[in-house]
Amino acid sequence: MKTLFRALLLVPLALAGMQAQAADYTIKFSHVVAPGTPKGKAAVLFADLVDKKTNGRVKVEVFPNSQLYNDNKVLEAMRLSSSKTTGLMAAPSLSKFVKFSKTLQTFDLPYLFNDINDVHKVVDSPLMDRMAAGLDKKGLRALTVWDNGMKVFSIKGDKPLMNPPADFNGMKFRIQSSNIAASMIKNLGGTPQKLPFKEVYTALGQGVVDGQENAWSNVYSKKFHEVQDYISVSNHSYLGYLVVVSDEFWGNLPADIRKQVAAALEEATAANRRFAAAADTGDRKKIENSKYAKVVDMTNAQRAAWRKATAPVWAEFRNEIGGDLIDDVNKLLGR
Protein backbone atom coordinates (compact mmCIF):
# COMPACT_ATOMS: atom_id res chain seq x y z
CA MET A 1 0.00 0.00 0.00
CA LYS A 2 3.00 2.27 -0.54
CA THR A 3 1.19 4.33 -3.15
CA LEU A 4 -1.62 5.06 -0.75
CA PHE A 5 0.88 6.17 1.89
CA ARG A 6 2.45 8.53 -0.62
CA ALA A 7 -0.95 10.01 -1.38
CA LEU A 8 -1.54 10.61 2.31
CA LEU A 9 1.83 12.22 2.86
CA LEU A 10 1.63 14.55 -0.13
CA VAL A 11 -1.55 16.38 0.88
CA PRO A 12 -0.77 20.06 0.17
CA LEU A 13 0.09 21.92 3.32
CA ALA A 14 -1.70 24.93 1.90
CA LEU A 15 -4.98 23.28 2.83
CA ALA A 16 -4.12 23.64 6.49
CA GLY A 17 -5.11 27.27 6.50
CA MET A 18 -8.53 26.40 5.14
CA GLN A 19 -9.32 23.94 7.89
CA ALA A 20 -10.37 24.56 11.45
CA GLN A 21 -7.47 24.40 13.83
CA ALA A 22 -7.85 22.74 17.21
CA ALA A 23 -5.61 22.38 20.22
CA ASP A 24 -6.38 18.72 20.68
CA TYR A 25 -7.62 15.76 18.64
CA THR A 26 -8.52 12.32 19.92
CA ILE A 27 -8.44 9.06 18.01
CA LYS A 28 -10.23 6.10 19.60
CA PHE A 29 -8.53 2.98 18.24
CA SER A 30 -10.79 -0.04 18.66
CA HIS A 31 -9.75 -3.65 18.03
CA VAL A 32 -10.89 -7.11 19.07
CA VAL A 33 -7.68 -8.97 19.93
CA ALA A 34 -5.36 -9.06 22.93
CA PRO A 35 -2.76 -6.32 23.55
CA GLY A 36 0.11 -8.80 23.13
CA THR A 37 -0.79 -9.77 19.56
CA PRO A 38 0.88 -8.19 16.51
CA LYS A 39 -2.10 -5.89 16.02
CA GLY A 40 -2.31 -5.06 19.71
CA LYS A 41 1.38 -4.17 19.92
CA ALA A 42 1.22 -2.10 16.73
CA ALA A 43 -1.77 -0.14 18.02
CA VAL A 44 0.06 0.77 21.25
CA LEU A 45 3.18 1.75 19.31
CA PHE A 46 1.09 3.85 16.93
CA ALA A 47 -0.42 5.72 19.89
CA ASP A 48 3.04 6.48 21.26
CA LEU A 49 4.38 7.58 17.89
CA VAL A 50 1.43 9.89 17.27
CA ASP A 51 1.92 11.55 20.64
CA LYS A 52 5.59 12.19 19.87
CA LYS A 53 5.20 13.28 16.26
CA THR A 54 2.33 15.70 16.99
CA ASN A 55 3.86 17.01 20.23
CA GLY A 56 0.77 15.91 22.10
CA ARG A 57 -1.74 17.59 19.82
CA VAL A 58 -3.27 14.20 18.99
CA LYS A 59 -4.07 11.57 21.61
CA VAL A 60 -4.70 7.97 20.56
CA GLU A 61 -6.73 5.87 23.00
CA VAL A 62 -6.45 2.12 22.35
CA PHE A 63 -9.34 -0.21 23.23
CA PRO A 64 -8.37 -3.91 22.83
CA ASN A 65 -10.45 -7.08 23.28
CA SER A 66 -13.69 -5.54 21.92
CA GLN A 67 -13.83 -3.18 24.91
CA LEU A 68 -15.29 -0.39 22.76
CA TYR A 69 -16.79 -2.14 19.73
CA ASN A 70 -16.61 -5.41 17.87
CA ASP A 71 -15.41 -5.16 14.27
CA ASN A 72 -18.87 -4.99 12.71
CA LYS A 73 -20.15 -2.31 15.07
CA VAL A 74 -17.05 -0.16 14.84
CA LEU A 75 -17.40 0.13 11.07
CA GLU A 76 -21.00 1.29 11.40
CA ALA A 77 -20.05 3.73 14.16
CA MET A 78 -17.22 5.03 12.00
CA ARG A 79 -19.53 5.62 9.06
CA LEU A 80 -21.97 7.57 11.24
CA SER A 81 -19.28 9.61 13.01
CA SER A 82 -19.35 13.33 12.27
CA SER A 83 -17.01 14.70 14.93
CA LYS A 84 -14.19 16.91 13.70
CA THR A 85 -12.12 16.48 16.86
CA THR A 86 -12.71 12.86 17.90
CA GLY A 87 -12.23 10.16 15.31
CA LEU A 88 -12.70 6.42 15.31
CA MET A 89 -9.94 4.17 13.97
CA ALA A 90 -9.94 0.40 13.78
CA ALA A 91 -8.18 -2.52 12.13
CA PRO A 92 -10.84 -5.12 11.33
CA SER A 93 -9.85 -8.23 9.45
CA LEU A 94 -10.07 -7.84 5.69
CA SER A 95 -12.97 -10.30 5.68
CA LYS A 96 -15.13 -7.75 7.51
CA PHE A 97 -15.25 -5.42 4.52
CA VAL A 98 -17.21 -7.66 2.19
CA LYS A 99 -20.36 -5.51 2.32
CA PHE A 100 -18.32 -2.43 1.47
CA SER A 101 -15.90 -3.88 -1.07
CA LYS A 102 -16.20 -7.06 -3.10
CA THR A 103 -12.64 -6.68 -4.35
CA LEU A 104 -11.13 -7.00 -0.85
CA GLN A 105 -12.47 -10.56 -0.81
CA THR A 106 -9.40 -11.39 -2.86
CA PHE A 107 -7.50 -11.88 0.40
CA ASP A 108 -9.87 -14.66 1.49
CA LEU A 109 -9.20 -16.87 -1.54
CA PRO A 110 -7.69 -20.17 -0.35
CA TYR A 111 -4.08 -20.71 -1.39
CA LEU A 112 -3.77 -17.39 -3.18
CA PHE A 113 -0.56 -16.71 -1.25
CA ASN A 114 2.29 -19.15 -0.77
CA ASP A 115 3.63 -17.17 2.18
CA ILE A 116 3.68 -13.75 3.83
CA ASN A 117 6.14 -12.43 1.23
CA ASP A 118 3.48 -12.93 -1.43
CA VAL A 119 1.05 -10.94 0.71
CA HIS A 120 3.46 -8.03 1.00
CA LYS A 121 4.02 -7.96 -2.76
CA VAL A 122 0.30 -7.32 -3.21
CA VAL A 123 -0.18 -4.97 -0.25
CA ASP A 124 2.77 -2.81 -1.32
CA SER A 125 1.59 -2.56 -4.92
CA PRO A 126 -0.97 -0.32 -6.66
CA LEU A 127 -3.32 -3.32 -6.65
CA MET A 128 -3.98 -2.64 -2.96
CA ASP A 129 -5.26 0.84 -3.75
CA ARG A 130 -7.44 -0.69 -6.45
CA MET A 131 -8.95 -3.13 -3.98
CA ALA A 132 -9.60 -0.44 -1.37
CA ALA A 133 -11.03 2.08 -3.86
CA GLY A 134 -14.50 3.32 -3.02
CA LEU A 135 -14.37 2.88 0.74
CA ASP A 136 -14.30 6.66 1.19
CA LYS A 137 -17.78 6.77 -0.36
CA LYS A 138 -18.88 4.51 2.50
CA GLY A 139 -17.50 6.87 5.14
CA LEU A 140 -14.27 4.92 5.61
CA ARG A 141 -10.68 5.93 4.78
CA ALA A 142 -8.30 3.02 4.15
CA LEU A 143 -4.83 3.75 5.49
CA THR A 144 -2.72 0.58 5.52
CA VAL A 145 -2.72 -3.18 6.06
CA TRP A 146 -1.41 -4.89 9.19
CA ASP A 147 -0.31 -8.52 9.35
CA ASN A 148 -1.30 -11.28 11.66
CA GLY A 149 -0.12 -14.23 9.62
CA MET A 150 -1.05 -17.27 7.62
CA LYS A 151 -3.97 -19.30 8.96
CA VAL A 152 -3.87 -22.79 10.43
CA PHE A 153 -6.78 -25.12 11.29
CA SER A 154 -7.54 -26.52 14.72
CA ILE A 155 -9.97 -29.29 15.68
CA LYS A 156 -11.30 -31.12 18.71
CA GLY A 157 -11.42 -34.80 17.84
CA ASP A 158 -9.55 -38.04 17.63
CA LYS A 159 -7.42 -37.07 14.60
CA PRO A 160 -6.01 -33.97 12.91
CA LEU A 161 -7.48 -32.41 9.80
CA MET A 162 -5.43 -33.79 6.94
CA ASN A 163 -7.55 -35.51 4.28
CA PRO A 164 -10.59 -33.70 2.89
CA PRO A 165 -13.46 -34.34 2.83
CA ALA A 166 -13.26 -37.35 5.16
CA ASP A 167 -11.64 -35.47 8.06
CA PHE A 168 -14.10 -32.58 7.76
CA ASN A 169 -17.35 -34.53 7.43
CA GLY A 170 -19.75 -33.89 10.30
CA MET A 171 -17.54 -31.15 11.75
CA LYS A 172 -18.58 -27.53 12.37
CA PHE A 173 -16.01 -24.74 11.99
CA ARG A 174 -16.07 -21.18 13.21
CA ILE A 175 -15.32 -18.67 10.47
CA GLN A 176 -15.35 -14.91 10.11
CA SER A 177 -18.17 -13.19 8.25
CA SER A 178 -16.76 -14.27 4.90
CA ASN A 179 -18.76 -15.99 2.19
CA ILE A 180 -15.52 -17.21 0.65
CA ALA A 181 -14.49 -18.83 3.93
CA ALA A 182 -17.92 -20.46 4.16
CA SER A 183 -17.56 -21.86 0.64
CA MET A 184 -14.05 -23.08 1.43
CA ILE A 185 -15.28 -25.03 4.49
CA LYS A 186 -18.10 -26.58 2.48
CA ASN A 187 -15.71 -27.63 -0.29
CA LEU A 188 -13.42 -29.20 2.30
CA GLY A 189 -16.40 -31.18 3.58
CA GLY A 190 -17.31 -29.32 6.77
CA THR A 191 -20.06 -27.01 8.00
CA PRO A 192 -19.22 -23.29 8.46
CA GLN A 193 -20.49 -21.27 11.41
CA LYS A 194 -20.03 -17.49 11.47
CA LEU A 195 -19.30 -16.22 15.00
CA PRO A 196 -17.79 -13.03 16.49
CA PHE A 197 -14.18 -13.43 17.57
CA LYS A 198 -14.95 -12.85 21.26
CA GLU A 199 -17.30 -15.88 21.26
CA VAL A 200 -14.86 -18.37 19.74
CA TYR A 201 -13.22 -19.72 22.91
CA THR A 202 -16.57 -20.43 24.57
CA ALA A 203 -17.98 -21.95 21.38
CA LEU A 204 -14.98 -24.29 21.10
CA GLY A 205 -15.11 -25.23 24.78
CA GLN A 206 -18.83 -25.96 24.75
CA GLY A 207 -18.78 -27.83 21.46
CA VAL A 208 -20.90 -25.29 19.58
CA VAL A 209 -18.21 -25.66 16.92
CA ASP A 210 -15.58 -28.37 16.58
CA GLY A 211 -12.77 -26.29 15.11
CA GLN A 212 -11.64 -22.97 13.73
CA GLU A 213 -9.09 -21.29 11.46
CA ASN A 214 -6.76 -18.57 12.66
CA ALA A 215 -3.23 -17.22 12.84
CA TRP A 216 -0.87 -18.50 15.52
CA SER A 217 -1.00 -15.34 17.65
CA ASN A 218 -4.78 -15.47 17.98
CA VAL A 219 -4.76 -19.19 18.76
CA TYR A 220 -2.23 -18.65 21.53
CA SER A 221 -3.43 -15.32 22.98
CA LYS A 222 -7.04 -16.51 23.23
CA LYS A 223 -6.04 -20.00 24.41
CA PHE A 224 -7.91 -21.79 21.65
CA HIS A 225 -5.25 -24.52 21.76
CA GLU A 226 -6.33 -25.40 25.30
CA VAL A 227 -9.76 -26.54 24.08
CA GLN A 228 -8.58 -28.20 20.85
CA ASP A 229 -6.78 -31.48 20.21
CA TYR A 230 -4.91 -30.87 16.96
CA ILE A 231 -3.63 -27.99 14.85
CA SER A 232 -2.93 -28.64 11.17
CA VAL A 233 -0.35 -26.29 9.63
CA SER A 234 -2.37 -25.67 6.48
CA ASN A 235 -1.28 -22.05 5.77
CA HIS A 236 -4.33 -21.95 3.54
CA SER A 237 -5.01 -18.20 3.62
CA TYR A 238 -3.92 -14.88 5.07
CA LEU A 239 -5.25 -13.17 8.16
CA GLY A 240 -4.61 -9.46 7.90
CA TYR A 241 -6.26 -6.23 8.95
CA LEU A 242 -7.20 -3.10 7.06
CA VAL A 243 -6.55 -0.03 9.19
CA VAL A 244 -9.37 2.45 8.58
CA VAL A 245 -10.48 5.75 10.07
CA SER A 246 -13.68 7.77 9.83
CA ASP A 247 -13.35 9.58 6.52
CA GLU A 248 -14.88 12.85 7.68
CA PHE A 249 -12.57 13.08 10.69
CA TRP A 250 -9.52 12.33 8.55
CA GLY A 251 -10.47 14.91 5.95
CA ASN A 252 -10.98 17.60 8.59
CA LEU A 253 -7.59 17.15 10.24
CA PRO A 254 -5.15 19.97 9.53
CA ALA A 255 -2.78 18.84 6.78
CA ASP A 256 0.32 19.02 8.96
CA ILE A 257 -1.23 16.80 11.62
CA ARG A 258 -2.57 14.40 9.02
CA LYS A 259 0.95 14.08 7.65
CA GLN A 260 2.37 13.37 11.11
CA VAL A 261 -0.26 10.75 11.91
CA ALA A 262 0.31 9.07 8.53
CA ALA A 263 4.05 8.97 9.22
CA ALA A 264 3.40 7.38 12.63
CA LEU A 265 1.18 4.79 10.98
CA GLU A 266 3.86 3.93 8.44
CA GLU A 267 6.36 3.25 11.24
CA ALA A 268 3.80 1.21 13.16
CA THR A 269 3.08 -0.84 10.04
CA ALA A 270 6.74 -1.74 9.62
CA ALA A 271 6.86 -2.76 13.28
CA ASN A 272 3.66 -4.77 12.92
CA ARG A 273 5.31 -6.91 10.27
CA ARG A 274 8.16 -7.64 12.64
CA PHE A 275 5.74 -8.47 15.46
CA ALA A 276 3.76 -10.81 13.21
CA ALA A 277 6.89 -12.60 11.97
CA ALA A 278 8.03 -13.14 15.55
CA ALA A 279 4.60 -14.45 16.63
CA ASP A 280 4.47 -16.82 13.67
CA THR A 281 7.35 -18.81 15.12
CA GLY A 282 7.22 -17.81 18.78
CA ASP A 283 3.54 -18.43 19.46
CA ARG A 284 3.63 -21.70 17.58
CA LYS A 285 6.49 -22.80 19.82
CA LYS A 286 4.58 -21.77 22.94
CA ILE A 287 1.59 -23.81 21.81
CA GLU A 288 3.78 -26.84 21.15
CA ASN A 289 5.41 -26.49 24.57
CA SER A 290 2.06 -26.19 26.32
CA LYS A 291 1.24 -29.83 25.51
CA TYR A 292 -2.43 -29.12 24.85
CA ALA A 293 -3.17 -29.30 21.12
CA LYS A 294 -0.73 -31.32 19.03
CA VAL A 295 0.73 -29.41 16.08
CA VAL A 296 0.88 -31.44 12.88
CA ASP A 297 2.76 -30.32 9.77
CA MET A 298 1.33 -31.19 6.38
CA THR A 299 3.12 -32.85 3.50
CA ASN A 300 3.21 -31.26 0.07
CA ALA A 301 0.84 -33.96 -1.16
CA GLN A 302 -1.66 -33.22 1.58
CA ARG A 303 -1.53 -29.50 0.92
CA ALA A 304 -2.01 -30.18 -2.79
CA ALA A 305 -5.18 -32.12 -1.94
CA TRP A 306 -6.49 -29.11 -0.01
CA ARG A 307 -5.72 -26.87 -2.95
CA LYS A 308 -7.62 -29.16 -5.27
CA ALA A 309 -10.58 -29.41 -2.90
CA THR A 310 -10.88 -25.63 -2.55
CA ALA A 311 -10.24 -24.75 -6.21
CA PRO A 312 -14.00 -24.40 -6.94
CA VAL A 313 -14.11 -21.41 -4.57
CA TRP A 314 -12.05 -19.39 -7.05
CA ALA A 315 -14.48 -20.07 -9.88
CA GLU A 316 -17.48 -19.32 -7.66
CA PHE A 317 -16.28 -15.84 -6.70
CA ARG A 318 -14.27 -14.86 -9.78
CA ASN A 319 -16.92 -12.59 -11.29
CA GLU A 320 -17.89 -11.09 -7.94
CA ILE A 321 -14.31 -10.11 -7.09
CA GLY A 322 -13.33 -9.31 -10.65
CA GLY A 323 -11.55 -11.73 -12.92
CA ASP A 324 -9.16 -9.06 -14.18
CA LEU A 325 -8.09 -8.23 -10.63
CA ILE A 326 -7.48 -11.88 -9.76
CA ASP A 327 -5.47 -12.28 -12.96
CA ASP A 328 -3.40 -9.20 -12.14
CA VAL A 329 -2.66 -10.49 -8.64
CA ASN A 330 -1.53 -13.82 -10.05
CA LYS A 331 0.61 -12.02 -12.61
CA LEU A 332 2.23 -9.93 -9.88
CA LEU A 333 3.00 -13.13 -7.98
CA GLY A 334 4.60 -14.66 -11.07
CA ARG A 335 1.94 -17.20 -11.96
User: pLDDT tens for residues 249-295?
Assistant: 999 999 999 999 999 999 999 999 999 999 999 999 999 999 999 99
Average pLDDT across the chain, whole number: 91
Indicate whether 276 and 302 sit together in one domain.
Answer: no
Task: Taking residues 90-119, report their average pLDDT.
Answer: 94
Total tally of structural domains belonging to the chain: 2
pLDDT at res. 16: 41
- Other beta carbons within 10 angstroms of residue 297's beta carbon come to 11
State the CATH number of the domain containing residue 28. 3.40.190.170
Does residue 141 sit in the same domain as residue 76? yes
Asked if residue 124 is part of any domain, the answer here is no
CA separation for the pair 20, 84 (Å, rounded):
9
- Residues 183 and 265 reside in one and the same domain: no
64 in any annotated domain: yes
Amino acid (1-letter code) at residue 253: L
The answer on 267 and 327 residing in a single domain is no
Inside any domain, residue 248: yes
What are the DSSP E strand ranges found in the chain? 25-30, 58-63, 86-90, 140-150, 152-155, 172-175, 191-194, 211-214, 230-233, 238-246, 294-297
Range with lowest mean pLDDT among 79-88, 117-126, 138-147, 178-187:
79-88
Based on the domain organization, do 220 and 253 belong to the same domain?
Answer: no
In this structure, the answer to whether residues 213 and 64 fall within a common structural domain is no
- DSSP assignment letter at 208: S
pLDDT above 90: residue 71:
no
Is residue 186's pLDDT more than 70?
Answer: yes
Tell me which residue range forms the domain holding 62. Answer: 2-93+134-147+241-281
Question: ∠ at Cα 172 (171, 177), nearest 5°?
Answer: 150
Q: Quick one: 171 and 290 in the same domain? A: yes
pLDDT tens per residue across span 138-174:
999 999 999 999 999 999 999 999 999 999 999 999 9
Kindly indicate the confidence band of residue 125, based on its pLDDT and cuts at 50, 70 and 90.
very high
CA–CA dist 57, 73 (Å, integer): 28
Q: Is the pTM of this model over 0.95?
A: no
**Segments in 173-254 forming alpha helices (H):** 179-188, 200-205, 216-221, 247-252
Q: At residue 261, what is the residue type?
A: V
Tell me, yes or no, whether 67 and 85 share the same domain.
yes
Report pLDDT for 269. Answer: 98
Q: Are 183 and 315 in a shared domain?
A: yes
4: confidence class by pLDDT, cuts 50, 70, 90: low
Cα–Cα distance, 276 to 167 (Å, whole number): 30
Q: Which of 114, 105, 158 is nearest to 325 (CA)?
A: 105
pLDDT tens digits along 11-58? 444 344 334 444 489 999 999 888 999 999 999 999 999 999 999 999
- Short-list 317, 17, 82, CA closest to 179: 317
Compute the distance between CA of residue 321 and CA of residue 116 in angstroms, rounded to an integer: 21
Least confident of 80-84, 89-93, 246-250, 284-288: 80-84
Q: What is the pLDDT of residue 68?
A: 85
CA–CA separation, 306 and 312 (whole Å): 11
Neighbour count for residue 11 (Cβ, 10 Å): 17
